[in-house]
Amino acid sequence: MIRKITLIFLFFAITANAQWVKMELPVTNSPNTAVYFVNENNGYAAGYGTPYHLNISKTTDGGATWTILQLPNFPLYQSASKITSIYFSTVNNGIVSTDNQNLSYKTTNGGLNWSIMNCGSTYPGKIYFKNSQSGFYYSDVSSTNNLTYTYDGGQIWFPVISVGQVKSIHFPTSTSSTGYLLSSQGVYKTTDHGFTFSMQSSTNGLPYNSIYFITQLMGFRTGTQIEKTIDGGITWQVVNTTIGGSKIWFTSPTVGYIAGHNSLITTNEIYKTIDQGETWQLMTTGDIPSESSIEILDFSFPNAQTGYALSSNGYLYKLDNNLSTNDNSITKFNFYPNPVIGTINFDTTDADNKVYSIFDITGKQLSTGVVKDKTVNVNTLQKGIYLLRLTDSNTTIKFQKQ
């Protein structure tokens, strides 16, 4: 029996209606912990490893295919169980940290070869680089020597003032001398690239996870709620008390994302703002399961149009805003079958003569055409998940090709 699918698309100018599409990594259903994309095509993802070495996966086509790169075997009497963070300044030059403070790795040829690097900390942690030369290694441990700094790309590291458990670091631009650090004690500010920090405000006992500054004065912090500052972290205004999260990121002065949760429904979701953080809308998360057990561990936005989210269920999800819509109308289409073998059939003549484009899950456009006799022929497509966009009606549907 052919199953008929009824789709109702509600598109409002203020909502975040782009969808996240699932992409399989080389090892699925295995915990992944970090993701970083240099641009929309070149990226890296990694997680837990073997008893002898760690692996990192690399893509050069936006996540459609992946190559597994092996880091060097652990030195004698040293080991690590997972990669905690990834940073690449270019396609070839990158650094990854592990849960062993003595074992970070650096590559200058896109992961073909790696050298071991010690970031000078007493505790395992993560890395944050504002550019290829200036970066930090920080640990979520309340003790001395849990924060170190480099100004030469990781060759030399030296300790920075103790500020409690370090949660997050962010500089507004890659050249800015002013940056911010979020710790268990409060928000700290540097005006000399990170050599020294001074406290701006305390946490008042509330838990926070991530900080992001759009300008040198305007920024956000999130934990169990979302807060905003316009005076460089001295004072904070509560924006939303029910939405919080593990990471916040802005792709423009007005558009931002939170990998977070809603305390009222206890599910892990992604929220988006388009008005400089004043309001936050739940995104249509598509393939991302809305389950409290599924956590968004990390995400990366190489540009304003493309994003990647890494979840605890072992999958990577891609957002392509080029495929999103922004229309004030309600459009109703019936199409069948789904999965489709050779032809997509629409139930309404409203689809006739509309120009369509078909994209794969990486956002690559595969074909264009015009709907004729309420049908679109997809016989030449390989098996997989695709998006079909009716360009002159601002409607996108997702279908599976068998």
What does the pLDDT read at residue 260? 76
CA 43 to chain centre: 11
Angle, vertex CA 194, rays to CA 191 and CA 199, nearest 5:
65
pLDDT score at 78: 84
What pLDDT, on a 0 to 100 scale, did the predictor assign at position 338? 82
Q: Taking the alpha carbons of 315, 55, 157, 173 in that order, is the dihedral positive or negative? A: negative
Q: What is the pLDDT at residue 23?
A: 81
Tokens representing 211? 């900080």
Query: Would you state the pLDDT for residue 162?
Result: 79
CA distance 239 to 226: 5
Distance CA 372, CA 354 (A): 8
- Domain annotation for the chain: domains and CATH numbers: 12-323 (2.130.10.10), 328-401 (2.60.40)
pTM for this entry: 0.76
Q: Exposed, middle or buried by CB within 10 Å (0-12, 13-18, 19+), for 383?
A: exposed
Sheet containing 166-170: order of strands? 166-170, 179-183, 186-190, 198-202
The pLDDT value given to residue 112:
93
Residue that has been written with the tokens 């002065």 in this structure: 253
CA end-to-end span of the chain: 16
Mention every residue, 6+ apart, whose C-beta is less than 8 A from residue 299.
35, 247, 249, 257, 259, 270, 307, 308, 309, 310
Alpha-carbon distance 356 to 53, whole Å? 47
Residue that has been written with the tokens 């690097």 in this structure = 117
pLDDT recorded at residue 13 = 31
Mean pLDDT by 10 residues, the chain (402 residues): 36 47 70 89 87 84 88 84 94 95 94 93 94 95 88 94 90 96 95 94 89 96 94 95 89 90 60 89 63 75 90 80 46 74 86 85 79 91 84 72 86
Sign of the Cα pseudo-torsion (84, 193, 134, 218, in order): positive
Range list of β-strands (E), 326-383: 330-336, 343-346, 355-360, 365-370, 375-377
Give residue 290's pLDDT. 55
What per-residue confidence (pLDDT) applies to 111?
93
What is the C-alpha separation between 224 and 226, in angstroms, rounded?
7
